[in-house]
Amino acid sequence: MFHNLDMGISHFIKEIGRGKEGARHLTRAQAHALMGQVLDAQVSDVELGAFCVAMRIKGETSEEMAGFLDATHERLQLIPNPNKQPVIVLPSYNGSRRLPLLTPLLAMMLAKQGLGVVIHGGNTEDERVATADVVRHLGLPVWSTVSPIQAGEVVYVPTELLHAGLWQLLQVRRQVGLRNPGHSLVKLMNPVHGPSIRVSSYTHPEYALSMRETLEMLHADAMLLRGTEGEPVADHRRSPQWLTVRQGQVQPQDTEHPNSVEWSNLPMGLDAANTAELINDIHQGKLAMPLPLQWQADHLCALAKDCTEP
């Protein structure tokens, strides 16, 4: 995968690999330099594994994540946005363990309102239902080459197409068995050249603050929410909560959603084909739209409109 070269990151590992209490945080510039070498395959397999384990124990700071993203954004094959209208970016890497995978439904709802939607992702856990498989059953395009994104279009873009080194970093999980900074990075990155709104999600509450701070540092337009099994879509079983970030500034929550509504009771444990069938039935009005998804889509449409106004 990665080859032994003269360059390395051992001096960074000495800083971050001192254990949870003794580890030192990297500056944004140091994190940028480290991730650049990782993405450019200038580290050995041993160094790469040590980096992933050390960061898993230490945890990433917002400054480190901003540096990792700086290096990533310099190297991504960006998606052109010729219409200069905000494109909604949905990172989809977790898939579904037992709840229905509704990220493609959210994308289709947004496209129906005239927005371009990019779902980027890839499967890093074979036990889960993968978004790419659901997208294919829905007949949505899966890109093999990067093209301009059009208004009202949903596309699925494999991470490997955006940057092969980033995809290989994510695949380290299969050997090591642990998440690494790449898994947070992809949920915060922007693969679109031009205006976009990132929908970033976290699974564990301890990541909420660092992800928020990172989006602020990047001056992003974004929605940050606790996702459904790690997916960037509101949980259909409960009242949604999210933060809106506009040009790096967290906006006040101006909408209260009732807690005492009748939440949808969707089937569990669906495979990709049955998930696609469920999504089509909801999208076509044969089944009721889950209210949390409708609220999320409405909020993103309002944010997109705000981003286009002078």
Q: Are 64 and 25 in contact (CB under 8 A)?
A: yes
Report pLDDT digits (tens) over 245-297: 999 999 987 666 766 556 678 999 999 999 999 999 999 999 999 999 999 99
Give the pLDDT confidence score for residue 256 in this predicted structure: 66
Report pLDDT digits (tens) over 65-97: 999 999 999 999 999 999 889 999 999 999 999
Give the pLDDT confidence score for residue 5 in this predicted structure: 37
What confidence tier does 20 reach under pLDDT thresholds 50, 70, 90?
low
Report the C-alpha gap between 181 and 59 in whole angstroms: 8
What confidence tier does 4 reach under pLDDT thresholds 50, 70, 90?
very low
Residue 38 CB partners (closer than 8 Å, separation 6+): 9, 48, 51, 165, 169
Q: Are 307 and 221 in contact (CB under 8 A)?
A: yes
Q: What domains does the chain contain, in order, with CATH numbers?
A: 10-75 (1.20.970.10), 79-308 (3.40.1030.10)
DSSP string, 14-31: HHH-SHHHH--PPPHHHH
Report the C-alpha gap between 139 and 130 in whole angstroms: 15
> For the whole model, what pTM was predicted?
0.92
Q: Which two tokens stand for residue 285?
A: 């009005």
CA pseudo-torsion sign 60, 62, 68, 72: positive
User: Of 190, 239, 180, 162, which is closest to residue 90 (Cα–Cα)?
Assistant: 190
DSSP string, 187-240: TT---EES-EEEEEEESSTHHHHHHHHHHHHTT--EEEEE-BTTBSS--TTS--
Residue 34 CB partners (closer than 8 Å, separation 6+): 9, 12, 26, 51, 67, 68, 71
Beta carbons within 10 angstroms of residue 287's beta carbon: 14
Report the C-alpha gap between 8 and 46 in whole angstroms: 10
Report the C-alpha gap between 164 and 216 in whole angstroms: 27
- Residue 106 pLDDT greater than 60, yes or no: yes
Residue 128 CB partners (closer than 8 Å, separation 6+): 94, 95, 96, 97
Give the pLDDT confidence score for residue 14 in this predicted structure: 82
Element (H, E) at 266: none
- Residue 309 pLDDT greater than 70, yes or no: no
CA pseudo-torsion sign 120, 122, 124, 126: positive
Beta carbons within 10 angstroms of residue 186's beta carbon: 25
